[in-house]
Amino acid sequence: METTLSSQTKTVVIGPGNPVRIIGERINPTGRKALAAEMAEGNLQRVADDALAQVEAGAALLDVNAGIPMVDEPALLAKVVELVQSLTDAPLCIDSSVVDALASGLGAYRGKALVNSVNGEEDRLEAVLPLVKKHGSAVIGLAMDDDGIPETPEKRLAVARRILSRAQDHGIDPADVVIDPLVLPVGASPMAARTVLETLRLVREELGVNTVCGASNVSFGLPDRPGLNAAFLAMTVANGITAVIANPLEEVSRMSLLAGDVLMGNDEHCMKWITAHRKPVPEV
């Protein structure tokens, strides 16, 4: 199944047989104090820089989030969307926990965006799915619901199945739902990574839809986070993941994903791998 996303001038396909698509995660003030302070003041220079640098480093899509306490998030997110679309042709992933902000970001967006995100919570399904349908977008569906994040892969699959079914009730094509199995820190929960890997496999085999995850959470609290993230990314690729929310400026992760494409037979004649080792990585 293929999830097709677009800006005004560029189309990106997520799906098996394609390279794993990197959704650049940097344009997000959560945990980035300096960026949050600048964005709150309306200074979007760092947003612009991050957009360009991530695309240069291989991001196929860019996540944009403007969630800052005490800030008019809907207005700011629209502004960020407009700015980033003026700078790059990468399709965007409109990211907010606030439904009004999603609505505002989608209103400002030109093309077919990916909405980040819906989950299996009743309120969220009813608030987000109509927006997705209205704007002809695709949506990330998180494998959690009103009871929280299920412990087992089978239960996460069940939540994914319900999100898909509810999306179809709203007239949304299953190809436009991308499931995120939800990555928890392995330092706190030794089975966290295995659960994600098994959920990825089940979603692919049972539902056939595309999958995405934010990998970096897996290494929270442990040393050498880039090393753990890179190994985990390769493992998700082996289990059929089709997109990742990651920082392509983190060299070791970027290389692990490129290696994953080679090893899954999705880098024709290994040209991307060979090219990546010919030219120096851009300084950022």
Which one of 18-26, 72-80, 137-145, 235-243 is the stretch in contact with a second copy (CB under 8 A)?
A: 235-243
Short-list 89, 97, 137, CA closest to 113: 137
Which one of 50-58, 89-97, 242-250, 267-275 is the stretch in contact with a second copy (CB under 8 A)?
A: 267-275
Burial (CB < 10 A; 0-12, 13-18, 19+), residue 9, is exposed
224 binds a second copy (CB under 8 A): yes
Torsion of CA 150, 155, 158, 160, to 10 degrees: 40
**Mask for 173-192, x = binds a second copy (CB under 8 A):** -------------xx--xx-
| Phi, psi angles (nearest 5°) of residue 13 | -105, 130
Short-list 87, 80, 93, CA closest to 14: 93
Binder among 49, 270, 272, 281 for a second copy (CB under 8 A): 270
Q: Closest separation between CB of residue 278 and a second copy, Å?
A: 8
Q: Closest separation between CB of residue 218 and a second copy, Å?
A: 7
Distance of CA 147 to the CA centre of its chain: 23
83 binds a second copy (CB under 8 A): no
Binder among 194, 206, 282, 284 for a second copy (CB under 8 A): 194
Pair of tokens at residue 134: 């209205």
158 binds a second copy (CB under 8 A): no
Asked if residue 120 lies in contact with residue 146, where contact means CB atoms within 8 angstroms, the answer is yes
22 binds a second copy (CB under 8 A): no
Asked if residue 19 lies in contact with residue 272, where contact means CB atoms within 8 angstroms, the answer is yes
Binder among 144, 230, 244, 249 for a second copy (CB under 8 A): 230
Rg (alpha carbons) of the chain, rounded to whole number: 18
Q: Closest separation between CB of residue 243 and a second copy, Å?
A: 17
Which one of 50-58, 64-72, 101-109, 265-273 is the stretch in contact with a second copy (CB under 8 A)?
A: 265-273
Asked if residue 50 lies in contact with residue 12, where contact means CB atoms within 8 angstroms, the answer is no
259 binds a second copy (CB under 8 A): yes
Asked if residue 136 lies in contact with residue 158, where contact means CB atoms within 8 angstroms, the answer is no
256 binds a second copy (CB under 8 A): yes
Pair of tokens at residue 278: 């010919």
Binding footprint of a second copy on the chain (CB under 8 A): 186-187, 190-191, 193-194, 197, 218, 222-224, 227-228, 230-232, 234-235, 237-239, 255-256, 259-260, 262-265, 268, 270, 273-274, 277-278
